Amino acid sequence: MDRQAIARHVTSALERGQHVLLESEVYELLALAGLETPAWRVWPVEGELDETWLGELPGSRVVLKVLSRRILHKSDVGGVRIVEKDAAAVRLAAQEMLGGVPGAWSRYEGEHGRDGTQDPEVEGLLLVECVAFPGELGRELLLGARHSREFGSVLTVGIGGTDAEFLSARLEPGRGHAIRSSLLLDRAGIRHMLEQTLVVERLTGKARGRARVVEPEQLEELVASFARLVNLFSPLDETAPAHLEELEINPLVVATDGRLLPLDGLMRIGPRRALPRSRPVGKVSRLLHPGSVALVGVSQKMNVGRIILQNLLDADFPSDRIHILKPDTEEIAGVRCYARPADLPEKVDMLVLAVSAEQVPAELEAICAADCAESIIVIPGGIAEKAGGEAIQARIDAVLERARALPGGGPVINGSNCLGVYDRDAGVNTLFIPDYKLPRPAREGQDAPGRVALLSQSGAFMICRMSRLADLDPVYAVSYGNQMDLSLGDYMEALLGDTSVDTVACYVEGFADLDGLKTARLARALTGAGRRGILYKAGRSAEGQSASAGHTASIAGDYETCRQVLPEAGVELTETFEDFENRVRLARALGPERGPAGHAPQVAVVSNAGFECVGIADNLARASEGRLELAKLGEYTREKLQQAFVEGRLDSLVDVKNPLDLTPMATDAVWATCVEALLEDSGVDAAIVSIVPLTAAMQTLPAGPGHREDLCAATAICARLAALRAASSTPFVCAVDSGVLYDPLVRQLESAGIPVFRYADEATRYLRRHLCSR
């Protein structure tokens, strides 16, 4: 690859004011990058046809195309002809084509004209080798790259030709076109990208009844060369020759002689763009677990600032390390007040601004001038996300620019429009939600296996999850709001080195510029270390994008790119709020560990209902999520189960097998013995314990009139399963498929850290997702 020649090629075009490259110029660029192109010659619009050109092109026919920076889809306007390779025929076709094309304008009309002038509509004609290839459906590829504001340069491979978009929209996501970040692609990633697309499956002979027409390695090398070309224009590279807006080969065909050739090319470029403003990200650690805090906006009466102060005091944060900025006041709730930022007795780790949006710029100016805080949380909304807030945002940006010139880079800012930070271990709680509205669980004994951090662009989403998942108690919960400074990727960077967290669960409406790329890169490192990343991406539809712009000033971006790039980095992308909650629940209860590498996880199943055994077996595998397999039980396990059946007088009703159907006659004791035997089997990686609680043989109701049951008794199934959960290293989930009468049973099991689902197939589905995610 001739990097210097490529740089000269695009720099020269920009110097001429040309932001769209002609097809011939794209072919030149591809050749410089080491990609093969068809033979071609340019016939300038003011020049005569040189008949020797025809002799230099192979074959008996030639393709004639218009060359225009304004006509991006030549076939749509009659700008492509295939003619016999005869000078007279070529001249006649050229005359007819030029007579019909000049009135056609692309959707980019007027976008990239020279200063003071406009490019001519047609600059010339392109004479191209007529490449022979089968014209049947599925023989044309698209290979493209475009700039994503969130992810930088992204590659697309898939169905090509004029029907590419139509066909791809009707296929399962990822089968029509695979999308990846060019900067995160390695050879294995390229191979997987190609394997998932239907057209490559067909071309490489993996589709039924189709012969192989190209070797997979040939396609891999082509995509690798294309990615290297695209990465020369990396938006992260300050020496890149230009900004790459779009580069597309469509179609790319396998010629009958085996060559992989582009039959059209499009490239749009622009001046290199400035990188996002840098931030002293190392200070995020001060924000996550501060040793000192200052508050602005605390009232003698109850307001947002006063709730935050009370939450800090209730969490036993040292009162002598809390400082309030409030003129003409000595103290509030026993905490000393100071008139100005410059009067603070120390440079605090965290300063919380709980004031109106209009007050924020002046407060920030004073804080930065005094250099009195390492990090700032800006609570109020009504800045970037509200009409008329642009002036406030501009003043804040100016303050930040000046702060970055300070020694150490000034403070980092979380927000605006946020709830701030909850740090379980440091006693930090800036969430302006009273404790009696959002009580945190008492920490008794050992933590659950999983240690979760919540990072949410929406504060409401975060506290709703903390309320619904009452036993979650995250290590950190961060509501980061509008990302006026700190981004999701910055928090991911901080948590990557924090071993107190093994699962990072995120709610995102829109990534900051290039922060999707940063997040994906860090998620790959996180999951590569055996930890988990779980993410819900909002703003998927036009309506959702509009709502997110009004909520957190987020530009939602392209959801399809997010949906394909992040899972390749190991992120578990969730489809619904419920899906997000369930995955977080399992990560908390079972820990970050996945199933064994190299083979499907081996699962034991026990129920007291035959329909559940059948339903669970039916749901063990799903192509897009992985596969669980029923474990083959060891001889010792089988003997122990048989003994339990004899002692429980079930041996005439139940056979030893997997799934294990205990029937409604099994008691709590029999259940416990059977579950223990399954968990102890070295061939079992996980278990599903599905209880139909209506049987009279088990204690599944709270103590009360009309019966003798007590689900809280030491001999009841809840206590027995809780003991097994504490003693066993083999994970298991429960299902309780019954009505509200059995909600206390569910709550009791969950209080022991056991994940409980209300349907057996749901329990199976989420255990599969947990164990098989990669």
The pLDDT tens digits for 424-452 are 988 899 999 998 999 887 765 556 788 99
**What mean pLDDT comes out for the span 256-274?**
94
- What pLDDT sits at residue 556? 46
Residue 107: pLDDT band (50, 70, 90) is very low
* Alpha carbon distance 267, 258 (integer Å): 26
Residue 548: pLDDT band (50, 70, 90) is low
**What mean pLDDT comes out for the span 529-537?**
96
Answer yes or no: is pLDDT of 550 > 60.
no
- What pLDDT sits at residue 47? 85
- What pLDDT sits at residue 346? 97
Distances in whole angstroms, Cα of residue 399 to Cα of each of 261, 406, 422: 53, 11, 27
Report which of residues 577 and 278 the model is more confident about.
577
Report which of residues 553 and 648 the model is more confident about.
648
Q: Which residues of 415-424 are buried (b: 16+ CB within 10 A; e: fewer)?
A: bbbbbbbbbb
Answer yes or no: is pLDDT of 106 > 70.
no
Residue 172: pLDDT band (50, 70, 90) is confident
Distances in whole angstroms, Cα of residue 551 to Cα of each of 56, 416, 546: 61, 11, 9
* Alpha carbon distance 233, 220 (integer Å): 21
- Identify the CA nearest to 759 among candidates 742, 740, 738: 738
Answer yes or no: is pLDDT of 117 > 60.
no
Answer yes or no: is pLDDT of 699 > 90.
yes
**What mean pLDDT comes out for the span 218-237?**
96
- What pLDDT sits at residue 569? 95
Answer yes or no: is pLDDT of 553 > 80.
no
Residue 540: pLDDT band (50, 70, 90) is confident
Residue 546: pLDDT band (50, 70, 90) is low
- What pLDDT sits at residue 102? 54
Distances in whole angstroms, Cα of residue 290 to Cα of each of 316, 324, 440, 457, 575: 13, 16, 20, 21, 35
The residues, any chain, with a CB within 8 Å of residue 112's CB and separated by 6 or more, are 17, 18, 19, 20, 69, 119, 268
Mean pLDDT across the chain: 90
Q: Which tens digit of pLDDT belongs to each residue from 146-162? A: 999 999 999 999 998 87
Answer yes or no: is pLDDT of 105 > 80.
no
**What mean pLDDT comes out for the span 643-653?**
92
**What mean pLDDT comes out for the span 163-188?**
86
- What pLDDT sits at residue 115? 41
- What pLDDT sits at residue 557? 58
Q: Report the phi/psi class of residue 772: left, alpha or beta, with left for phi > 0 and alpha for psi in -120 to 50.
A: alpha
- Mutual angle of helices 3-15 and 23-32, in 10-degree steps: 160
Residue 120: pLDDT band (50, 70, 90) is low
Answer yes or no: is pLDDT of 104 > 70.
no
User: DSSP string covering 134-176, please?
Assistant: --STT-EEEEEEEEETTTEEEEEEEE-STTHHHHHTTS-TTTS
- What pLDDT sits at residue 244? 96
Report which of residues 169 and 315 the model is more confident about.
315
**What mean pLDDT comes out for the span 704-731?**
96
Residue 12: pLDDT band (50, 70, 90) is very high
Q: How would you classify the pairing of strands 293-296 and 331-332?
A: unpaired
**What mean pLDDT comes out for the span 49-62?**
94
Beta strand spans in 280-358 (E): 293-296, 322-325, 331-332, 335-338, 350-353
- What pLDDT sits at residue 211? 81
Contact between residue 737 and residue 692 where contact means Cβ atoms under 8 Å apart: yes
- What pLDDT sits at residue 283? 96
- What pLDDT sits at residue 552? 46
Q: State the greatest distance between any 2 C-alpha atoms of the chain, in Å, as a whole number.
A: 103
Please report, rounded to a whole number, the percentage of residues in the chain having pLDDT higher than 70: 94
**What mean pLDDT comes out for the span 183-202?**
92
* Alpha carbon distance 49, 87 (integer Å): 8
- What pLDDT sits at residue 210? 76
